[in-house]
Amino acid sequence: MKKLSARRRHPLAALVVLLFALAATGGLYTAFAPAGEAKADKGSSQSLAIEEGKKLYDVGCSSCHGTGGQGTSDGPSLVGVGAASVDFQVGTGRMPLQQQGAQAPKKKQVYDQDEINQLAAYVASLGSGPSQPTKKQYDPNGSDVAKGGELFRTNCAQCHNFTGEGGALTHGKFAPDLGDVSEKHIYEAMQTGPQNMPSFPDTVMPEKDKRDIVAYVKTVNSDKSESPGGFKLGGFGPVSEGMFAWIFGLGSMVAVAVWVAARTAKARKS
Amino acid sequence: MSTATDTPGSAAAGEKKKAPAGERVADWADGRLGIFSLAKANMRKIFPDHWSFMLGEVALYSFIIIILTGVYLTLFFHPSMNEVEYHGPYVPMQGVQMSEAFASTLDISFDVRGGLLMRQIHHWAALIFLAAMFVHMMRVFFTGAFRKPREVNWLFGFLLFVLGMFTGFTGYSLPDDLLSGTGVRFMEGAILSVPIVGTYLSMFLFGGEFPGHDFIARFYSAHVLLLPGIMLGLLVAHLILVFYHKHTQFAGPGRTNKNVVGMPLLPVYMAKAGGFFFLVFGVISAVAALFTINPIWVLGPYRPDQVSTNAQPDWYMGFPEGLVRVMPGWEINVAGHSLVLGVFIPLMILPVVLGAIAVYPFIESWVTGDKREHHIADRPRNAPTRTGFGAAWIAWYFVLLVGGGNDLWATHFHLSINAITWFVRIGFFVVPVIVFVITRRICLGLQRRDRDKVLHGRESGTIKRLPHGEFVEVHEPLNQEQLHTLTAHEQYQPAEIGPGTDENGVERKVSRGQKMRAKLSKGYFGESGQIPKPTSEEYREIESGHGHH
């Protein structure tokens, strides 16, 4: 005890106490937080899924989208948006919405895939829309990457940047980084046009073109993409390059200059 | 011209055995080139030591690196806009239609040995070159090293910076990728906005409608021949003038306006500068080996129907980009011709922003009316108004850079791009004024501190209790060298217009220019413009009455 009291005025004491306090609060929270495992039973039939989806919808979505999906002043109508839309918005965590704003950002997803499917089934039952794509539809294996690149530069790059690093839109809206978006979600986004994105239905952009685009994005902007020139500094082009040249390039030059200038031919200081 | 070296006994010894080879070579060359007197005059040239005096060297060395790597790149680059289909090793481009310029840049990046490294060294060195010129220029500005006799050299340096911008821009455009093509399109738009001659200029430059089939070849000759040729000439002139004027030095004991205290060019600075060259080369190579720049393989070839976000120029063209990005899109119609003010006004402001810094030395010399030579560099604090202007200019430049990169500010700081645009629009006028006032105040504060240090010594941190109970901090007097350094600068007196009437009581004519000059001079050197430096009388008085603190 004496040791402890001797150290209570140590400069780092406050930090240690803070760390303990944070650990304690965090631990208590995890112990008592409601476990998010209220899983609904898997419905065997479609109507059961719709029924379960409706229950989930009433709890999680209806306050903004209305009790029948007709929309309110806080959220748009969901009639005819289709299952693909629900799969994208809920699957990327954008829905349920955290707060009203320029755009819903991607966040940790709240519902698991079974629940999403039920919600999707319910929303699809409100009016016909694009359905969830099958793996065959979006799997980029064997697609034409070069063609995808051309399509991407023609249709997507003006908002998402050359390699899908994301970009700014007006009034705080933005085109997100596509780096960690799954193939399915990229495909669904093109199909349904979520948030501020235009939609590219199959009549405008055939399935194969969408697959090519998915293949291109996965080739140039994923964990496995190669960067032959070295670290890519975010891939944002000349702004990040210029900043790097100033801070690190010229910064090291100044450091080197200071070092060289400090070494004169004068008699050594002893 | 000396025809023989002065080595004692060389004539006599020469008959018996030959002089050493080095001496014979030197003798041979001296007999034909007269290098002895040249070397004698210049090899012992003295250069003062200060790290900030080496910033210009960084620019010089990166320029040399750019030339070396650029020559290598010309061996493989095809400045042609012929359409080809790519069949090289980079998969995401296979089968894509592109110009030969773009294809050859891909080849340089993926097929030519060392090609990608050379490209990246070339490009990084270019960014660092311009940045080094910028800080070198700021060093010269803030230390007043542009004053007589160096005004012409200041202009040479300024021209080098501007030419560097355009050399960079033309080089950046050569690969004919989607990013640089957008930049060229931007430039075309700016040219088109010029009333009357705009369309003609554009047609002339591009050999017809944009993009045409000519501009790569034309930019190429400008980039590898015309612009660097002029720059090389200016650079040599710049260096000759540095030799001729001798280098400035900071005030210090033994340093006067008539001498230079430092180390001789040979051997000390030859070794230092040579070593520094390799350090600069090393830093640039390391950056180029580790970090990618302008990865044209993911940007794709230029097509006028495509565009990407994050389409910005390299940093030195960022401020014109900012000007255009934040300018309201005004357009008026004059007699059936539209005049795109939204682009034309920024185009006209561009030379104003650059020119503001170029003409400053002449404004200052007009205000001071000082015709003497200055070889002692000012400490920025001792010229508060100048320092204020310099800082304001940098702030102005930076505000425009923020405008040029507004989309990245928006995405990375979760801001609205419209808010940033409005910030830049207002900041363009307001930020320089605020920065000017604050910087000037900081300088005056530092001057007061210097004055305090000279008169009362340095705070030692030792607290002493006097017999009657008062606590005082012991101040250590400065030594003679420090006293000299802190008081060596001279202070101007504000210019007077003189009495309103002459000796005969007749009203004197005072031109508007004179009045303005007097006003400016008062702002520069009047009561609010500088803190009078301590005089020796003040110092002695304080010294004699010891005990006052």
What DSSP letter does each residue of B91-129 carry, written as one string? GGGTT-EEEHHHHHHHHHHHTSTTHHHHHHHHHHHHHHH
Q: Please check whether residue A144 lies inside any domain of the structure.
A: yes
- Are residues A125 and A188 both part of a single domain? no
What is the per-residue pLDDT for A42?
45
What would the pLDDT profile of A141-162 be if each residue is shown by its tens digit?
A: 888 999 999 999 999 999 999 9
Yes or no, beta carbons of A102 and B416 under 8 Å apart = yes
Q: How confident is the model at residue B1 (pLDDT cuts 50, 70, 90)?
A: very low
What DSSP letter does each residue of A24-83 carry, written as one string? HHHHHHHHHSPPS--PPPPPSSHHHHHHHHHHHHHHHTHHHH-TTS--BTTB---TT-HH
Q: Please check whether residue A100 is in contact with residue A171, taking contact to mean a CB–CB distance below 8 angstroms.
A: no
What is the per-residue pLDDT for B2?
43
Of A153, A232, A261, the CB nearest to B295: A232
- Taking only residues 219 to 248 of chain A, the set having a beta carbon closer than 8 angstroms to any beta carbon of chain B reads 219-220, 227-233, 235-246, 248
- Which CATH number belongs to the domain containing residue A170 in this structure? 1.10.760.10
For B17, phi then psi, to 5°, come to -135, 155
What would the pLDDT profile of A68-100 be if each residue is shown by its tens digit?
A: 888 899 889 999 898 999 999 999 999 888 888
What is the per-residue pLDDT for A4?
73
What would the pLDDT profile of B488-514 be if each residue is shown by its tens digit?
A: 998 998 888 777 777 787 888 888 888
For A16, phi then psi, to 5°, come to -60, -45
Share of chain B above pLDDT 90, in %: 71
Residues A16-42 have a mean pLDDT of 76
Q: Please check whether residue A168 lies inside any domain of the structure.
A: yes
Check CB contact of A105 with chain B, cutoff 8 Å: no
B71 pLDDT exceeds 90? yes
Q: Please check whether residue A47 lies inside any domain of the structure.
A: yes
- Report the predicted TM-score, pTM, of the whole model to 2 decimal places: 0.88
Q: How confident is the model at residue B425 (pLDDT cuts 50, 70, 90)?
A: very high
A21 pLDDT exceeds 70? yes
Residues A238-259 have a mean pLDDT of 95
Q: Please check whether residue A116 lies inside any domain of the structure.
A: yes
Residues B80-97 have a mean pLDDT of 93
- In this structure, chain B runs to a length of 549
CA distance A138 to chain B (A): 18
What is the per-residue pLDDT for A6?
74
Q: Structurally, how many domains does chain A consist of?
A: 2
Domain that holds residue A186: 133-236
Q: What CA–CA distance (Å, rounded) separates B523 from B364?
A: 12
What is the per-residue pLDDT for B13?
46
Yes or no, beta carbons of A220 and B116 under 8 Å apart = no
Q: Please check whether residue A106 is in contact with residue A112, taking contact to mean a CB–CB distance below 8 angstroms.
A: no
CA distance B467 to chain A (A): 34
A126 pLDDT exceeds 60? yes
B98: which 2 tokens?
Answer: 């592109």
Q: What CA–CA distance (Å, rounded) separates A37 from A41?
A: 12
Q: How confident is the model at residue B264 (pLDDT cuts 50, 70, 90)?
A: confident
Of A129, A147, A170, the residue that ends a domain is A129
Q: Please check whether residue A223 lies inside any domain of the structure.
A: yes
Strands B376-377 vs B249-250: parallel, antiparallel or unpaired: parallel
- Are residues A119 and A214 both part of a single domain? no
Helix axes B55-74, B115-142, angle to 10 degrees: 150
- Are residues A122 and A106 both part of a single domain? yes
- Are residues A185 and A221 both part of a single domain? yes
- Are residues A50 and A98 both part of a single domain? yes
Task: For residue B250, give the H/E element and its range.
Answer: strand B249-250
What would the pLDDT profile of B137-177 be if each residue is shown by its tens digit?
A: 999 999 999 999 999 999 999 999 999 999 999 999 999 99
**Three-state SS annotation for B461-490:** EEEEECCCCCEEEEEECCCHHHHHHHHCCC
ipTM for the whole complex: 0.90
- Are residues A189 and A108 both part of a single domain? no
Average pLDDT, chain A: 87
- Are residues A220 and A167 both part of a single domain? yes
Residues A55-70 have a mean pLDDT of 90
- Are residues A152 and A221 both part of a single domain? yes
B14 pLDDT exceeds 60? no
Q: How confident is the model at residue B15 (pLDDT cuts 50, 70, 90)?
A: low
Of A101, A129, A157, the residue that ends a domain is A129
- Are residues A162 and A174 both part of a single domain? yes
Q: First vs last Cα of chain B: how many Å apart?
A: 64
Q: Please check whether residue A209 lies inside any domain of the structure.
A: yes
B317 pLDDT exceeds 80? yes
What lies within 8 Å, CB to CB, of B220 at 6+ separation is: B77, B79, B170, B174
- Are residues A116 and A157 both part of a single domain? no
B220 pLDDT exceeds 90? yes
Residues of B in Cβ contact (< 8 Å) with A220: 92, 298
Q: Please check whether residue A270 lies inside any domain of the structure.
A: no
B278 pLDDT exceeds 90? yes
Q: Please check whether residue A19 lies inside any domain of the structure.
A: no
Q: Please check whether residue B111 is in contact with residue B89, taking contact to mean a CB–CB distance below 8 angstroms.
A: yes
Residues B106-115 have a mean pLDDT of 95
- Are residues A227 and A191 both part of a single domain? yes
Residues of A in Cβ contact (< 8 Å) with B178: 153, 157, 162
CA distance B151 to chain A (A): 25
A38 pLDDT exceeds 60? no
Yes or no, beta carbons of B109 and A252 under 8 Å apart = no
Check CB contact of A174 with chain B, cutoff 8 Å: yes
- Are residues A120 and A180 both part of a single domain? no
**CA-CA distances (angstroms) from residue A4 to A18, A23, B229, B319, B409?**
16, 19, 73, 58, 48
Check CB contact of A154 with chain B, cutoff 8 Å: yes
B172: which 2 tokens?
Answer: 């950046």
What is the per-residue pLDDT for B9?
46
Residues A116-143 have a mean pLDDT of 89
Residues of A in Cβ contact (< 8 Å) with B404: 239
Yes or no, beta carbons of B410 and A238 under 8 Å apart = no
Q: Least CA distance to A228: which residue of chain B?
A: B292
Check CB contact of A165 with chain B, cutoff 8 Å: yes
What would the pLDDT profile of B29-61 be if each residue is shown by its tens digit?
A: 888 988 888 888 788 888 888 999 999 999 999
Chain A interface, best mutation among B293, B305, B312, B422, by max A CB count within 10 A: B293
Check CB contact of A249 with chain B, cutoff 8 Å: yes
Check CB contact of A166 with chain B, cutoff 8 Å: yes
Residues A162-177 have a mean pLDDT of 92
Residues A184-192 have a mean pLDDT of 93
CA distance A9 to chain B (A): 24
Q: How confident is the model at residue B230 (pLDDT cuts 50, 70, 90)?
A: very high
CA distance B302 to chain A (A): 10
Residue B195 gets the label, from left (phi > 0), alpha (psi -120 to 50) or beta, of beta
What is the per-residue pLDDT for B360?
95
Of A100, A129, A158, the residue that ends a domain is A129
Residue B492: count other Cβ atoms within 10 Å of its Cβ: 15
Q: How confident is the model at residue A262 (pLDDT cuts 50, 70, 90)?
A: confident
